[in-house]
């Protein structure tokens, strides 16, 4: 009897064990997915970009005359005032040219004086010939010769005057060349670059070829970050938008900024494989006193914000191809894809719901239409989201939540 009772008891335990395993197996049916509730939150969208620090106002000083640098008065880091002497390019050639132009002007002025005297004499002879012709004393031929001589003298005097003016202009031009031999600071600032040494030859620009940049003077009291923004993000960047700038040389610090310029054309690419980017300048409001041009910087440009909007995790948003119903065809120009989310309904089955999105935040995206709030959407894993067709049996992955709580 006791043995029978033990068998019955053992059989009952086995049934319970098998039944428990079966129930657990039923509970574990379906694809394990991560889910999230649709709710409201504050969203802030931004565009991130990399770039370099530079002065808002700077002057790249190039040579206007060719020659050897004979005097050099500044080095990188020096503070200079407007009009301060920076360097001298060998002035001997320019001085010789000026002296030659001065001599040409003096010769031209002497020619002009001579031509004026000849004109006065020719006028006097013409007046006398005219009076004699009227009195019948001289022939018509003699009168014509006097008139021709007078006209010739007038033309010679005008030619001499124009040559004198030309010589004067050449002298002025030579003075400019001589002045260009001495280079001074065009503004107050700091010498942020010096690309020439004493004794080296400065080369001026020729037509479309730029000349040697000798010195760069920058006003470092007002600096900016010149950023490179990719083409997908540039439409949202506008003037006067706020920004936060991080500079590699100053870790753990952020600097407030403001967008002051948005490029209208792409930056020239060095190779066909480079991404298309646009130049955006961000003025830094509170730069450190020791900041220098050329430092690497990163900027977050805040392109929009909205409070308490309906939002979903970015990873829950999927795009799928629109499949027309049987017998239907898509109209030309009609969208071929649609955005939406996979809902996790009460029966544990998937259902696709199209949504219209708005502002994009760091982790979430605004929903303008399609959801009301409180729904449960599937957020991952991506390999499952990618292959969902609708109607699949799914279950919430509890292990993910346990790991997050432990973390």
The model's pTM? 0.67
Return phi, psi of residue 106, to 5°.
Answer: -65, -40
202 burial type by CB count under 10 A (0-12 exposed, 13-18 middle, 19+ buried): buried
Rounded to a whole number, what is the largest CA-CA distance in the chain?
A: 181
How confident is the model over 218-267, as pLDDT tens digits? 999 899 999 999 999 999 999 999 999 999 999 999 999 999 999 999 99
Instruction: Return the SS3 of 80.
Output: strand
| pLDDT recorded at residue 183 | 94
Contact 95, 178 (CB under 8 A): yes
* Across 29-33, 332-336, 387-391, least confident range: 332-336
Please answer whether residues 191 and 215 qualify as being in contact, where contact means their C-beta atoms are separated by less than 8 angstroms.
Answer: yes
79-138 pLDDT, tens per residue?
Answer: 999 999 999 999 998 899 899 999 999 999 999 999 999 999 999 999 999 999 888 888
Tokens of 31: 């694809």
Sheet holding 85-89, edge to edge: 182-184, 85-89, 67-72, 201-202
pLDDT tens, 58-76? 999 999 888 999 999 999 9
Q: Kindly indicate the confidence band of residue 18, based on its pLDDT and cuts at 50, 70 and 90.
A: very low
Q: Nearest Cα to 249, choosing from 310, 293, 285? A: 293
Here the tokens at position 113 are 């004086």
Strands 189-194 and 213-230, sheet pairing: antiparallel
| Cα atoms found within 13 Å of the Cα of residue 27, Cβ hemisphere only | 8
Q: Can you tell me the distance from the alpha carbon of 375 to that of 377, in angstroms, rounded to the nearest whole number? A: 6
């Amino acid at each position: 009897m006791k043995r029978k009772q033990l068998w019955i008891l053992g059989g009952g335990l086995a049934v319970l064990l098998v039944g428990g395993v079966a129930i657990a197996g039923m509970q574990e049916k379906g694809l394990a997915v991560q889910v999230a509730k649709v709710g409201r939150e504050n969203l802030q969208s931004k565009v991130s970009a990399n770039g370099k620090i530079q002065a808002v106002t700077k002057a790249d000083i190039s040579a206007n005359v060719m020659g050897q640098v004979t005097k050099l008065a500044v080095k990188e880091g020096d503070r200079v005032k407007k009009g301060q002497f920076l360097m001298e390019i060998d002035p001997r050639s320019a001085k010789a040219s000026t002296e030659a132009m001065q001599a040409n002007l003096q010769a031209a002025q002497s020619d002009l004086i001579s031509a004026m005297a000849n004109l006065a004499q020719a006028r006097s002879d013409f007046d006398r010939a005219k009076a004699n012709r009227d009195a019948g004393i001289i022939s018509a031929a003699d009168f014509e010769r006097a008139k021709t001589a007078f006209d010739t003298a007038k033309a010679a005097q005008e030619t001499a005057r124009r040559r004198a003016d030309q010589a004067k202009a050449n002298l002025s031009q030579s003075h400019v060349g001589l002045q260009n031999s001495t280079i001074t600071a065009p503004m107050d600032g700091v010498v942020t670059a010096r690309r020439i040494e004493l004794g080296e030859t400065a080369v001026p620009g020729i037509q479309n070829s730029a000349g040697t940049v000798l010195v760069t003077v920058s006003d470092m009291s007002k600096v900016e970050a010149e950023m490179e923004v990719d083409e997908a993000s540039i439409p949202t960047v506008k003037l006067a938008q706020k920004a936060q700038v991080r500079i590699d040389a100053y870790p753990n610090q952020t600097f407030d900024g403001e967008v002051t310029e948005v490029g209208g054309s792409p930056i020239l690419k060095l190779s066909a494989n480079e991404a298309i980017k646009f130049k955006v300048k961000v003025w830094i409001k509170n730069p450190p006193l020791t900041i220098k041009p050329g430092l690497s910087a990163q900027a977050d440009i805040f392109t929009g914000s909205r409070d308490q909007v309906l939002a979903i995790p970015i990873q829950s948003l999927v795009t799928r191809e629109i499949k027309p119903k049987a017998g239907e065809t898509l109209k030309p120009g009609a969208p071929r894809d649609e955005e939406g989310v996979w809902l996790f309904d009460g029966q544990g089955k998937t259902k696709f719901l199209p949504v219209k999105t708005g502002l994009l935040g760091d982790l979430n995206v605004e929903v303008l239409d399609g959801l009301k709030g409180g729904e449960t959407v599937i957020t991952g894993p991506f390999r499952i989201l990618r292959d969902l067709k609708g109607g699949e049996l799914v279950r919430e992955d509890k292990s993910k939540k346990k790991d997050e709580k432990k973390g």
